[in-house]
Structures are given as C-alpha cells and as structure tokens.
C-alpha cells in the first residue's frame, strides 16, 4: 500500500464530498474504489464524517441502467479515484462517479503538498457522461 497515493485519494474524496453538501448529508450509499490503494483505509477514516453510507468492493448491481446496493436495494453511486501523476509536492488526481447509464462524470484535480498535507489547489477539468 502506497501511503502517498492513499493520502491523495482521501484528500480528493473529502474535497468532492465537502463540495457537494447534498451528497455529504444524504443517506445515500457510495462505493469507493481507489486505483493503486486500499479504499478501506479512506472509508474507515471518513465514515463518521458523513451521513452517507460508505462502502468498498463491488456489491452493487445495475438494473435498468441504475446502480443499486445489493445489501439494501437502494440506489447507489460508485466513485473511483486514481492518482494520475506525482511530481515532488505536486500531483494530479482524477475522481469519476457513476449512478446510472445517464448520470456520471468526473473531475481532474491539481494538488500540492503544503506543510506536510495534500491540498486541492484547483480543478483542471470536469466531464460528464
């Protein structure tokens, strides 16, 4: 497990949730995946921070184009975070989300390490699918 990549993924996930207050306050179900890292670490560090239910793995199913949590039968959103590049104290991380065949998108973020902690500096791009 690469601690730097986990820290970056966690920073971007929190930024995404905090930038979407409705998502952070909802009782929705979110499945988190992290390329090159253990999503369980990020979920464990954040599960008490949000009202939303945070899960890892792939215990969801697509029915008629909509994603549902197998355990509860409730609609869910799948979030995947990937560290694209790290160059010293600068990094680029993407976050993609999907809730259905017609609801999904992503954001590319620029991050900088400041006083030992990663901070989102800006959005580089936004896309919808």
Domain count, the chain: 1
The structure tokens listed for 119 are 């901070």
Residue with tokens 């929190």: 14
How much is the mean pLDDT over the chain?
A: 89
State how far the Cα of 64 lies from the Cα of 51, in Å rounded to an integer. Answer: 27
State how far the Cα of 122 lies from the Cα of 116, in Å rounded to an integer. Answer: 18
* Residues belonging to the chain: 129
Question: What is the DSSP track for 51-114?
Answer: SSEEE-S--EEEETTEEEETTT--BEEEEEEEEEEEETTEEEEEEEEEEETTEEEEEEEEEEEE
State how far the Cα of 63 lies from the Cα of 101, in Å rounded to an integer. Answer: 10
Average confidence (pLDDT) over 72-93:
94
So what's the pLDDT on residue 35? 77
The structure tokens listed for 7 are 């820290």
So what's the pLDDT on residue 102? 85
Average confidence (pLDDT) over 82-98:
95
Is the pLDDT confidence value at 96 over 70? yes
Domain membership of residue 95 as a residue range: 3-128
Average confidence (pLDDT) over 83-107:
93
**Strands 103-114 and 90-100: what pairing?**
antiparallel
Please report which confidence band the pLDDT of residue 38 belongs to, taking 50, 70 and 90 as the band edges: confident
Please report which confidence band the pLDDT of residue 39 belongs to, taking 50, 70 and 90 as the band edges: confident
Residue with tokens 């995404």: 16
Please report which confidence band the pLDDT of residue 22 belongs to, taking 50, 70 and 90 as the band edges: confident
């Amino acid at each position: 497990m690469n601690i730097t990549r986990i820290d970056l993924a966690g920073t971007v996930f929190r930024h995404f949730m905090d930038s979407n207050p409705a998502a952070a306050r909802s009782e929705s179900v979110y499945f988190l995946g992290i390329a090159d890292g253990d999503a369980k670490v990020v979920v464990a560090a954040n599960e008490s921070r949000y009202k939303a239910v945070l899960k890892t793995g792939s215990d969801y199913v697509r029915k008629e184009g909509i994603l549902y949590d197998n355990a509860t039968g409730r609609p869910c959103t799948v979030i995947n975070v990937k560290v694209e590049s790290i160059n010293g104290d600068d990094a680029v991380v993407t976050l993609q989300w999907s809730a259905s065949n017609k609801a999904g998108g992503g954001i590319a973020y620029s991050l900088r390490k400041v006083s030992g902690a990663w901070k989102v500096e800006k959005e580089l791009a936004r896309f919808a699918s």
